[in-house]
């Protein structure tokens, strides 16, 4: 019992690390599965970064659409990122996190476009913002663009 108390901090650290790793991995896997499924589903909404629509023969109705997502790191990713910040190199633990956030924000933007009856989004841009707060380590990713709905 005494050793348990003496090693309490280490045990808490190890538990957080294990929970962060286990739960984080399961959540990431599930999220990727959902992302792939919806990417297929929304494939017919096309996105472009150019500012002007292709030469058109029909009139379009343009409106702003945006998709926003806030993601948080898990404990394991945070500790791993701390280590990368010492040794340098690609922060691999954050690469998958931000990849998920980027794709999710595009999916939400496409969803918004579909609800407006649009099938094309131009002038797509991304923005990130760090969510303030001590030890939060969350990031917001916004994708926005101009959805074009053909006017019959």
Partner 1 sequence: MSDWSNPRLPQEAVNVGESRPLLSFFVMVAGLGAVIAACALVLMVFAQAIAAWLPFSAEQAVAARFVKPADPGAEPEATLQALAESLVGPQGLPPGMTLKVHYNLLPVANASATVGGNITIYRGLVEAIDSENALAMVLAHEIAHIRHRDPVRSLGRGMALAVVMSAVSAGAGSAVADWLLGSAGNLTVLSFSRSQEARADADALAAVAQRYGHVAGADAFFREMQRRSASAGAAGSVPVFMRTHPATEDRLQRMQNLAADRRWATDGALMPLPPVLQAIRDARAAKELPGG
Residues that bind partner 1 (CB under 8 A): 6-7, 9-10, 12-13, 21, 35-36, 39-40, 43, 46-48, 54, 56, 76, 79-80, 82-84, 86-87, 90, 92-93, 95-96, 98-99, 102, 120
Which of residues 1 and 10 has its CB atom nearest to partner 1 in the complex? 10
> Which are the contacts of 72, defined by CB distance < 8 A and separation ≥ 6?
136, 137, 138
| Nearest distance from C-beta of residue 39 to partner 1, angstroms | 5
Closest distance of CB 19 from partner 1, Å? 14
Instruction: Supply the minimum distance, in Å, between the C-beta of residue 27 and partner 1.
Output: 14
Question: Between residues 48 and 68, which has the closer beta carbon with respect to partner 1?
Answer: 48
Least Å from the CB of residue 92 to partner 1: 4
């Amino acid at each position: 019992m005494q050793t348990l108390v003496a090693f309490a901090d280490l045990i808490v650290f190890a538990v957080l690390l294990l929970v962060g790793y286990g739960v984080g991995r399961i959540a990431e896997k599930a999220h990727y599965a959902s992302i792939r499924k919806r990417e297929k589903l929304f494939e017919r909404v096309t996105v472009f970064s150019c500012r002007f629509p292709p030469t058109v023969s029909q009139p379009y109705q343009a409106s702003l659409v945006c998709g926003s997502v806030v993601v948080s790191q898990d404990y394991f990713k945070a500790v791993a990122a701390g280590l990368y910040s010492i040794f340098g190199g690609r922060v691999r633990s954050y690469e998958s996190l931000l990849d998920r956030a980027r794709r999710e924000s595009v999916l939400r933007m496409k969803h918004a476009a579909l609800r407006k009856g649009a099938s094309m989004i131009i002038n797509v841009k991304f923005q990130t913002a760090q969510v303030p707060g001590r030890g939060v380590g969350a990031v917001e990713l916004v994708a926005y663009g101009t959805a074009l709905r053909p006017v019959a």
